[in-house]
Chain A
């Protein structure tokens, strides 16, 4: 990481104990964290207790209040990864901060996509009698999940931060093309997976509100997770640079002794 990649406006000495207690937190992230927690409590209350059973899906509809937001957040996360990657590749906006946002968002997206796959599988067992079937929506979703695991693996390969950023940005721009493929798979191939319940007006009243609570609370949670994760990535990059500087200094000292 070069000094220009991270703003250095605040160079005043800080309390090291406070830095370790709240290493990636600010007043904003703390407020966001509290709002996310409140949203999650609401989601559990409405999703499990206050909303009614569906006439046809019965209690199984309650899984949709976490399954649909998880899937939507995974889409959003992968689109943010694509946009941040494009911002890194564009010369005028090139900064490793964009690369870290892309990496953090992809990681959180993989988490939400994994949750969407597991909760979808549980919902499938209730509705179809099976945990998994190779229909177009499920298959493309699994492919998207594996693609972004590959993206994260590529980020972990060696090289400088700039090399990591460039190669992962190119992969991210290719991978994000899968998102519309997954989303429209239910329209293009008419799989076993149901069509869009919200767009078709199949949910209303407290059931629609529970889904809304799920989407809002998961979105807040996503922002909170990405902010913290990209700061952890910035600290890891800083540590890498320190290790490199130390190795160079040791090598120079060895050279001076000879």
Chain B
């Protein structure tokens, strides 16, 4: 597959792909842990066997 753009024109797309990937995964993980912190205090220890 031969690229249709020059290397310098490609760089914003390359950087954007890393930013989107790491940003999406980071945001998902952050939201999940925030949800966990929010509800953990209301859940009895027997339902948190991993703690």
Q: Is the CB of A239 within 8 A of B42?
A: yes
Partner of B20, one of A16, A118, A231, A236: A118
Residues in A with CB closer than 8 Å to B25 are 111, 115, 221, 225
Whether B39 contacts A235 by the Cβ 8 Å rule is yes
B3 interface neighbour in A21, A57, A228, A238, Cβ under 8 Å: A57
**Are A239 and B39 in touch, CB under 8 angstroms?**
yes
8 Å CB contact of A57 from B1, B22, B46, B50? B1
CB–CB B48/A23 < 8 A = yes
A21 to B34, CA, bound (A): 10
With contact pairs A23-B40, A231-B36, A232-B32 given, residues A238 and B47 touching in the complex (Cβ less than 8 Å) = yes
Chain B residues with Cβ under 8 A from A14's Cβ? 45, 48, 51
Greatest chain A CB density within 10 A among B11, B16, B21 is at B21
In angstroms, how far is the closest chain A Cβ from the Cβ of B3?
5
B-chain residues with CB within 8 Å of residue A257 when the two chains form the complex = none
How far, in whole Å, are A121 and B19 apart by their CA atoms in the complex?
A: 14
Which residue on chain B has the smallest CB distance to residue A225? Answer: B29
Q: How large is the interface on B (under 10, 10 to 19, 20 to 34, 35 or more residues)?
A: 35 or more
Q: Interface 1/0s, chain B 6-47, versus A by CB < 8 A?
A: 110011011111101110110011001101110111111111
Q: How many inter-chain residue pairs (CB < 8 Å) link A and B?
A: 151
> Is A253 close to B, CB under 8 A?
no
- How many whole Å from B10's CB to the nearest CB in chain A? 4
Q: How far is the CB of B25 from chain A (nearest CB, A)?
A: 7
- Is the CB–CB distance between A59 and B14 below 8 Å? yes
Supposing A235-B43, A238-B44 touch, asked if A48 and B18 sit within 8 A by C-beta, the answer is yes
Contact with B along A54-74 (1 / 0, CB 8 A): 001111101100110010000
Point out the residues of chain A lying under 8 angstroms from B17, CB to CB. 63, 66-67, 118-119, 122-123
Let me know if A106 is at the binding interface, CB within 8 A.
no
Among B41, B42, B49, contact of A10 (Cβ-Cβ < 8 Å): B49
- Report which B residues bind A (CB closer than 8 A): 1-7, 10-11, 13-18, 20-22, 24-25, 28-29, 32-33, 35-37, 39-51
